[in-house]
Amino acid sequence: MIKTFAPLSLAVAFSTGTAFASAAPELTKDRVSEFKTAWGESIVDIGAVHIDGGDYEAAARAHLSTFYAFEENTVLFKPTLASEHQFRGTFDEALSYFVGGSFSEDDGFAITPFTAVRWENEGTLINGDIALAMGNYYFTTADGSEVKVEYTFGLEQMADGDLKIVLHHSSLPFTPS
């Protein structure tokens, strides 16, 4: 079953009798944290759909549409396990990374059966409708071990109030030789 994640937007009604206007909620560190939690839950869901024999590509497409601004803006995406095609600037290139397909190095990161994503945020900066967050996230595997990944997310609040990723950089921690 594909889960849908509610957009992080809010409609505000002005009581003038019949008029309604929508206003975007304030961009806060709490909203950024909620967004990241929902992003992680969606990654876990894609893997669960794959394990259950469901349409994991549809789940990944929904993830990309919900969390990334490919339809609204340029997205700068440098996934963790990409080296030959290290930057994924289109929806289809990102989809290939998440479920496999277009590039030989893509094994389908999101179809790995992760059971949880845990966040350790180093910091969040907010400037107008842009938020930058950086830290570590930990992907829990089926055997209970965690894979530590360093991340930077740049989020933009869209005109409808939804937050979307416009910058995503992930990398494995440096290992000294």
The phi, psi pair for 92, rounded to 5°, reads -65, -35
| Element housing 65 (H / E) | helix 56-67
Mean pLDDT of the chain: 88
Instruction: Give pLDDT, residue 33.
Output: 97
Give the residue among 79, 37, 73 at the shortest CA–CA distance from 166: 73
Domains and CATH numbers, the chain: 29-171 (3.10.450.50)
> pLDDT by residue (tens digit) across 41-54?
999 999 999 999 99
Instruction: Give pLDDT, residue 29.
Output: 97
Q: Are the beta carbons of 133 and 36 closer than 8 angstroms?
A: yes
Quick check: 20 pLDDT over 70?
A: no
pLDDT band per the 50, 70, 90 thresholds, residue 150: very high
> pLDDT by residue (tens digit) across 62-101?
999 999 999 999 999 999 988 889 999 999 999 999 999 8
